[in-house]
Homo-oligomer: A and B are copies of this chain.
């Protein structure tokens, strides 16, 4: 028998920068072919090396506002004068085909998607929320400094944000504490597999021919 026909999982991932979201995500994307990363839309200019439809969908401000007006975004935000947003169609297309989608999104964005899910049957069935956290604030600071890419000011700002973000873990269904990278990945991949066994995402009765 083939695997039962199911909707994919929309895996909403939040957590402070330095918690290890990108590393966990990269490993999962490399391991699971039917898992992909949701591509966001932005109105900011394309930077060197970036590709439209790969890094972002680069949209004009007019086009972006048209999508806002039509309610096409699951969530969107304006950061330093540029818009960023996640199209519902980008996510829906994949989960309807049974593929899992990862959304790396901040706490506010996640909250907006959960609110929308209350009136959106597909989202309600597919959305699962995971908070990735560092083992402690001290370890987070060590990691941010260890990168060697951030200024003192940037580190101080990130740490301040991290403190606020950390207090939001309760809004999430799962919490993965990234102490040891391999153990955290073991938990994260277990979560991806486990959520594929969720009965609420089955499209039909897998035993319908057997009764």
Q: Which residues of A contact B (CB under 8 A)?
A: 1, 3-4, 130-131, 133, 135-137, 139, 163, 166-167, 169-170, 172-177, 179, 186-187, 189-200, 202, 205-207, 210-211
Contacts and interface: CB of A to CB of B under 8 A. Distances in A.
A3 B136 CA distance: 12
Contact of A131 (B3, B191, B199): B199
Nearest to A196: B187
Nearest to A194: B194
A197 B207 contact: no
Question: Can you tell how many copies of this chain the complex includes?
Answer: 2
Contacts of A173: 198-200
Nearest to A199: B175
5 contacts: A4-B177, A169-B206, A175-B206, A190-B190, A193-B194
